[in-house]
Amino acid sequence: MSPTAAPPLLSAQSVFDVSGQSFVVTGAASGLGAAMSEVLSANGAHVLLMDSDAQALTAVHERLSVTGGRVQSQVVDVSNAQALQKHVADFVASRQGLDGLFANAGISGGPGFGTAAGAVTGGLEAQSPQDWERIFRINLHGVVASMQSAVSVMKLQKRGSLVLTASIAGVKAEPFVSYAYATVKSAVIQLMRQSALELAPFGVRVNAIAPGFIITNIAGGRLHDSATALSLQSKIPLGRLGSASELHGVTLLLASQASSYITGALIPVDGGVLAL
């Protein structure tokens, strides 16, 4: 009797293929959103870049276009649900569908109660209603509006990937970030889990990424400061801060059929912080 034939080997190119597919990325003008956009674009996807920073958005659009990326861009504040949904609907109509949306836009909300030097600058008593309202409006309501702009077409298609940017601060207490930021990121994680259950019967996957200390311009670019970086390294098992480009792999994973059986998952990209 001849042995059972082994299954054919699949190439990484085929497993992670996003060529010709369509994606929306919010907060695409810098940091994690720009990294997500560049890897999708570099692998042949059509990407709608969305951000409230017109100048930075233009720069990313031009950079990706020069390297052959098929990108469009729209200046929009994600807390403006009506404008957001219109731009996504126009993109969906032009592309005749939508394969994925990365709800990434967010702001830091200021310092936490413990800075790298140990100073208390963002303590509980310093929290204002205005600070909380702004964070909730962009980091939570903006995520909900982004998801709502995509979910109807995905349910009709019986497929799609929604990816939310959460944070390790939504899982564990983190003095470096603001109260409002940590609280809202925890809410984003629960939003991901709740919607993953609802949308699973429609073939729509919902997952979240939990970045750790990644060097971007958020929080006023504090992580670019060498003293701050040195202080934070002791918290990280890998012994260093991450770079935005280290989101490339997980972006392709969650955008492609490589994650076809993954939904309701929180994926840390944190150098091992959540393992402590």
Condensed to tens digits (0 to 9), the pLDDT of residues 123-150 reads 888 888 998 999 999 999 999 999 999 9
Residue 243 carries which DSSP code?
Answer: E
pLDDT of 2 > 60? The answer is no
Q: What integer best gives the mean pLDDT of the chain? A: 93
What is the total count of domains within the chain? 1
Residue 201 sits at the vertex; the CA angle it makes with 78 and 44, to the nearest 5 degrees, is 55
pLDDT of 109 > 90? The answer is no
Q: Nearest-CA neighbor of 99 among 110, 114, 88?
A: 88
Is 162 within 8 Å of 103 (Cβ atoms)? yes
Cα 85 to Cα 142, 150, 207, 222, 227, distances in angstroms = 11, 8, 21, 33, 42
Condensed to tens digits (0 to 9), the pLDDT of residues 232-252 reads 898 999 999 999 999 999 999
The set of residues, in sequence order, having a beta carbon less than 8 Å from that of 106 and lying 6+ positions away, is: 27, 138, 139, 142, 165, 218
Does the residue 225 lie in any domain? yes
CATH number, position 226? 3.40.50.720
What's the whole-model pTM score? Answer: 0.94
Does the residue 11 lie in any domain? no
Residue 72 carries which DSSP code?
Answer: E
**Residue with structure tokens 């031009």?**
62
Does the residue 10 lie in any domain? no
Condensed to tens digits (0 to 9), the pLDDT of residues 95-107 reads 999 999 999 999 9
Give the span between the Cα atoms of 98 and 40, in whole angstroms. 14
Enclosing domain of residue 266: 19-275
